[in-house]
Amino acid sequence: MTDETRAGFAAIIGAPNAGKSTLVNKLVGSKVSIVTHKVQTTRFPVRGVMMHGQSQVVLVDTPGIFAPKRRLDRAMVKSAWEGATDADAVVHLVDARHWTGHGDKSEDEAIIGRLQQLGARAILALNKIDLVERAGLLAATKALFDTGVYSDVLMISGLNGDGVDQLADLLASRMPVGPYLFPEDQAADIPSRLIAAEVTREKLMLRLHQEIPYQLTVETETWEQHGNGSVKIGQLIHVAREGHRSIILGKGGQTIKDVGTASRKELQDILGCPVHLFLRVKVSERWQDNRERFTAIGLDFDA
C-alpha cells in the first residue's frame, strides 16, 4: 500500500440522454447533477468529486453533444468539448440500445469522428446494458472498438451500478500523481446557490412538457442563513413568454406550489438543514441573449 496520492479530471461525454448525470451521481455517491427523462438537461459542466482509494477524480459531467442550432446550444456543445480536451481521462458514455437497433446512433458517430480528429483515446462505457440482449451487446462493442478511438471498453449500468466499480478503478488509476485538488469530504465544486437553482430547474423539467423546459432558467436571487440553522432561499424563474408563466404558475398557483415543495424537500436532503424556499416567475423574453445569464452558469456567450 502506497501513500502516494493521485488527482485529476475525468470528462464524461456523450449524446443527450446517454445517462451521464446518473453515472456521475453514482460514482460520486451523492447527487451533484440533475437527472430527468428529457434531453439536454445539463447546461454546464458540473464537477463531482469522487474519492477512490488514494485517488481523487474530479468528474466533469458535460452537456450532451448534439447538433447546435441556438446560441445556448452552441455554448453547451463548446463547453462539452472543452471539458473533454482539458481532462486527464475521457469517458465516452454510449446508450447501448442505439447500437443494437433501438434508436439513433448518429450523434455517437459524430462524437467518434471528433475524437478521431483530435487523436484522443477515450474509455468506452457502454451504458444501459440491462436493457439489451447479450448477443447484440457483443456486436455493438466490436463495432465501436473497431473505430480506433478507445483504449478500454466497459459494459455498465449507471442506474443499477453494474460495472461502475470497475470504471471507478480505471479512472482512479489514470489520474496523475499529485496532491488532492479539493477537500476529501467535498462532493462538488459548484456553489450551493447554483446547485439549488439546478434542483428547482430539474423539478420544473419533470413537471412541464414539450418545449417549455428549454425556454426557462432558474436564478437563485437570495440566500439567507438563519441563526437556527435553517436557510431561506429566494429564486427567480425566467421564462420567454407570458403563456409559459401561466403554465408554470398553474391553476390557482398549484403547479409552482408543487414544484416548490419537491425542490425544498430535496434541498433539505442535500444541505442537511431546514429550507424555506420562495419562487417567483418573470417573463424575460430575451434571457437566452443575456450575457450575464450565460456567465452565471459557466457558458461562453460568444460560442
Tens digits of residue pLDDT in 49-61: 888 999 988 887 6
> Do the domain assignments include residue 196?
yes
**Percent of the chain having pLDDT more than 70?**
73
Is there a single domain that holds both residue 168 and residue 266?
no
The domain tally of the chain equals: 2
Measured from the Cβ of residue 225, the count of other Cβ atoms closer than 10 Å reads 10
Domain containing 265: what range? 192-296
> Residue 75 has what pLDDT?
60
pTM: 0.59
| pLDDT value of position 87 | 80
CA 269/CA 263 separation, integer angstroms: 10
Q: Residue 277's beta-bridge partner residues?
A: 233
Give pLDDT, residue 50.
Answer: 86
CA contacts within 13 A on the Cβ side of 86: 13
pLDDT score of 66? 45
Residue 44 DSSP SS3: coil
Whether residue 228 has pLDDT greater than 50: yes
At 187 the pLDDT is 56
Q: Would you say residue 185 lies in a domain?
A: no
Given CA atoms 237, 239, 244, 245 in this order, what sign does their dihedral have?
positive
157 and 228 in a single domain? The answer is no
Q: Are 2 and 53 in contact (CB under 8 A)?
A: no
Residue 114 near residue 147, CB atoms below 8 Å: no
162 plus 47 within the same structural domain: yes
pLDDT value at position 174? 94
Q: In the predicted model, what is the mean pLDDT of residues 133-158?
A: 92
Q: How far is CA 182 from the centre of its chain?
A: 19
pLDDT at 132 over 70: yes
Centre a 10 Å sphere on the Cβ of residue 188 and count the other Cβ atoms it contains: 23
**pLDDT more than 90, % of the chain:** 26
In a domain, 72, yes or no: yes
Judged by average pLDDT, the poorest of 163-167, 176-180, 220-224 is 220-224
- List C-alpha distances in Å: 29 to 41, 49, 168: 20, 9, 12
Give the pLDDT confidence score for residue 124 in this predicted structure: 96
pLDDT > 50? residue 131? yes
pLDDT of residue 107: 86
Asked whether residue 184 is assigned to any structural domain, the reply reads no
Nearest Cα neighbor of 279 from 219, 220, 234, 231 is 234
Gap between the Cα atoms of 49 and 25, Å rounded: 10
Look at phi and psi of residue 29 and say left if phi exceeds 0, alpha if psi is from -120 to 50, else beta.
left
Cβ atoms 130, 155 nearer than 8 A: no
Q: State whether 169 and 21 are in the same domain.
A: yes
19, 42 Cβ separation under 8 angstroms: no
- Domain annotation covers residue 301: no
Separation of alpha carbons 203 and 268, rounded Å: 14
Residue 284 within a domain:
yes
pLDDT in tens, 78-87: 655 565 667 8
Instruction: Please give the C-alpha separations between residue 200 and each of 98, 204, 234, in angstroms, as whole numbers.
Output: 30, 6, 11
- How confident is the model at residue 13, as a pLDDT? 85
CB neighbourhood size of 241 (10 A): 13
In a domain, 91, yes or no: yes
